[in-house]
Amino acid sequence: MAADLQNNPALLKLREYEPEAVEDAIIFRDEVTFYIRAPFFLRVCEFLRDEPTLKFSFLADVTALDLYPQEPRFEVVYHLLSIETAQRLRLKVRVSGENPHCLTAVPVWPAANAFEREVFDLFGINFDGHPYMRRIVLPDEWEGYPLRKDYPTEGYR
Amino acid sequence: MPVTLEKIPGHDDRVILSMGPQHPSTHGVLRMVLELEGETVVRAIYDIGYLHTGFEKTFESKTYSQGIPLTDRMDYLSPLSNNLGFCMAAEKLLGLEIPPRAQWIRVLLTELTRIQSHLVWLGTHAIDLGAMSVFLYCFREREEILHIFEAISGQRMMTSYFRIGGLALEPPLGWLKGVKSIAKRFPARFDEYETLLTRNPIWLRRTQGVGYIAPQDAIAYGLSGPSLRGSGIDWDIRKKQPYSGYEKFDFKVSTRSECDVYGRYLARIEEMRQSLRIVVQAMEGLPEGPVKADAPHIVMPERESMKTSIEALIYHFKIVTEGFHPPIGEVYQAIESPRGELGFYMVSDGSPKPFRCHVRAPSFANLQALPKMIEGRLIADVVACIGTIDIVLGEVDR
């Protein structure tokens, strides 16, 4: 299992390109996850999209996890797909619970636009540089962020 | 404040028009805000959330098995595809093997789901563009497929028939008779739709060159399913990352290079024919055996065995009152739903309820390409473009 991960072409290429970028790498049920250090995020995305042997040109999904009461509290999760090689890859960025914000991936994959708005809407994570950062499924005047773990699921508002 | 567009100074003759959410051709409760110059759309944005139900939050307070009926209600035109995606994500988390008979029935039923979902798409798409009779034919055929769903699960639409570890129960005796009849008669029906539309001059004028989206844009905007294949990208998860035994079936991925509404129309028509081929193969080669995995701590025991076996009774009690504990971890399971890549991202913290279950809804992603398709086109083309991306608002808003 661990040997598989060490020979993962994306990990090898990424370590060569930016040795500091990958904080941690995990493999579970044959799915590969990289934890990316936030400052490197955009460069890593561009690299993964453009590197001719990887070609992660399709952003399948963006979502987040709330690990409350841990700190850093949030993990923003990107699911990438390479149509050329039929490989999938999961990127994660850790985001602090204090004034949560991270960089947007819209310049790399325009598809991130609506997905990141959804994360903002339901988790309250701001994406710096996003072209249209406002709620998407809830009304603008909604209070709180429903998918956070400390959001009450019963009782009166 | 609802979503709106601001007028650009110096363009006083432009009109801001709100289209929907109550509009027959927005296929539910989609609202578009259009900036018009004459009849030409200059800018467009969409406004969603009218059907937001908070499914992803609800998943977190239900056990894994209790989550299945929720999935029916997202993409309500293809409930079995959603069931399949959810169950397969949970099975991947558990590392569970599914017996071949259950896999084949799953394939057969999800392909029937694909056909009936495309029939609704074709009927409503055609009626939006003025072809009334196609709608009536499509719904007539769709009803035959829904009868099969009713026979196996008791429900026409909210089936919840797939379970984690297999199927809810063995299908009733004689259910294949209906499938056989569909397999025999449907190819001629597909031809019938094509005689009504494929070379119809009005249809061609309304669809050819409309809603153009270049292949590289289709990938960049995250289009999937027939909308991606209509732009010439040969990507079908059933072929490229086979699941549930799809690698054993012989079918062609229908790819078109037109990149417009007409191309996507042809792609879906061909997809219905290919789905029918899969249905026939699954029916003819249907293996014998159990329809549930041999995993007593996950799969509900047979009712009969509970009367004679104490273990079955205990397992039943444990599953119903507590649920099962998957290992700690996370999985992303994508399947090819009729609308595109339907992904379930499931995170387990070892408890009987998912820590997080996120749905990658194909309609939600496909909708992003809509403004790009309609800007610069006539307002009548808006209706054609909404129809062509085949969105289900229950899935967009979740």
Chain A contact probe: residue of B62, B243, B346, B356 with most A CBs at under 10 A = B356
User: What integer pLDDT is reported at residue A3 of this predicted model?
Assistant: 55
User: Is the predicted pLDDT of residue B10 greater than 80, yes or no?
Assistant: no
User: What integer pLDDT is reported at residue B344 of this predicted model?
Assistant: 93
Please indicate whether, in this complex, the C-beta atoms of B49 and A59 are within 8 angstroms of each other: no
The 3-state secondary structure of B99-152 reads CHHHHHHHHHHHHHHHHHHHHHHHHHHHHHCCCHHHHHHHHHHHHHHHHHHHHH
Nearest residue to B93 via CA among B290, B268, B327? B327
Provide φ and ψ at B222, rounded to 5°: 75, 25
For chain A, what is the domain count?
Answer: 1
Closest-approach residue (CA) in chain B for A111? B221
User: What integer pLDDT is reported at residue A54 of this predicted model?
Assistant: 85
Please indicate whether, in this complex, the C-beta atoms of A61 and B358 are within 8 angstroms of each other: yes
Chain B interface includes A29 (CB < 8 A): yes
Instruction: Return d(Cα B64, Cα A153) in angstroms, integer.
Output: 18
Top-level CATH class of B55-397? mainly alpha
C-alpha distance from B182 to closest chain A C-alpha (Å): 34
Q: Are B61 and B38 in contact (CB under 8 A)?
A: no
Parallel, antiparallel, or unpaired: how do β-strands A58-66 and A101-103 relate?
Answer: unpaired
Chain B interface includes A35 (CB < 8 A): no
Mean local confidence (pLDDT), A133-137: 88
Tell me what the pLDDT averaged over chain A comes to.
87
User: Is the predicted pLDDT of residue A157 greater than 80, yes or no?
Assistant: no
Please indicate whether, in this complex, the C-beta atoms of A153 and B398 are within 8 angstroms of each other: no
Mean local confidence (pLDDT), B206-219: 89
Parallel, antiparallel, or unpaired: how do β-strands A87-95 and A31-36 relate?
Answer: parallel
pLDDT band at B310 (very low <50, low <70, confident <90, very high): very high
Query: Where do we find the tokens 């009926």?
Result: B69
pTM for the model = 0.91
Domain boundaries in chain B? Answer: 55-397
User: What integer pLDDT is reported at residue B398 of this predicted model?
Assistant: 83
ipTM of the complex: 0.91
User: What integer pLDDT is reported at residue B359 of this predicted model?
Assistant: 93
For residue B235, give the nearest of A79, A83, A139 by CB distance. A83
Please indicate whether, in this complex, the C-beta atoms of A60 and B367 are within 8 angstroms of each other: no
Q: Are A26 and A4 in contact (CB under 8 A)?
A: no
Mean local confidence (pLDDT), B38-45: 89
Mean local confidence (pLDDT), B374-379: 88
Please indicate whether, in this complex, the C-beta atoms of B356 and A31 are within 8 angstroms of each other: no
Any domain includes A90: yes
For residue A138, give the nearest of B52, B233, B329 by CB distance. B52
User: What integer pLDDT is reported at residue B51 of this predicted model?
Assistant: 87
% of chain A surpassing 90 pLDDT: 25
Instruction: Return d(Cα B146, Cα B181) in angstroms, integer.
Output: 14
Mean local confidence (pLDDT), B266-281: 92
CA-CA-CA-CA torsion for B295, B298, B299, B301, nearest 10 degrees? Answer: 90
Chain A interface includes B91 (CB < 8 A): no
Amino acid at B319: I
Kindly list the residues from chain A whose CB atom is less than 8 angstroms away from the CB atom of residue B219. Answer: 57-58, 83
User: Is the predicted pLDDT of residue A87 greater than 60, yes or no?
Assistant: yes
Q: Which domain holds residue A75?
A: 2-111
Q: Are B170 and B291 in contact (CB under 8 A)?
A: yes
pLDDT band at B20 (very low <50, low <70, confident <90, very high): confident
Instruction: Return d(Cα A49, Cα A46) in angstroms, integer.
Output: 5
**DSSP track, A89-117:** EEEEEEE-SSS-EEE--TTT-TTHHHHHH
- What residue spans of B12-131 are helical by DSSP H? 55-59, 68-72, 79-94, 100-128
Please indicate whether, in this complex, the C-beta atoms of A109 and B222 are within 8 angstroms of each other: yes
Cis peptide before B352 (omega within 30 of 0): no
Chain A interface includes B351 (CB < 8 A): no
Mean local confidence (pLDDT), B130-142: 89
C-alpha distance from B195 to closest chain A C-alpha (Å): 35
Any domain includes A66: yes
User: Is the predicted pLDDT of residue B315 greater than 70, yes or no?
Assistant: yes
User: What integer pLDDT is reported at residue A11 of this predicted model?
Assistant: 78
CATH number, residue A80? 3.30.460.80
Q: Kindly report, residue by residue over A108-125, the tens digit of the pLDDT.
A: 999 999 999 999 999 999
Interface of B with A in 277-316 (CB under 8 A): none
Amino acid at B356: R
Mean local confidence (pLDDT), B352-373: 91
Please indicate whether, in this complex, the C-beta atoms of B367 and A114 are within 8 angstroms of each other: yes
Q: Kindly report, residue by residue over B156-174, the tens digit of the pLDDT.
A: 888 889 999 889 888 898 8
Tell me what the pLDDT averaged over chain B comes to.
89
Q: Are B246 and B150 in contact (CB under 8 A)?
A: no
pLDDT band at B23 (very low <50, low <70, confident <90, very high): confident
Kindly list the residues from chain B whose CB atom is less than 8 angstroms away from the CB atom of residue A63. Answer: 345, 356, 358, 360
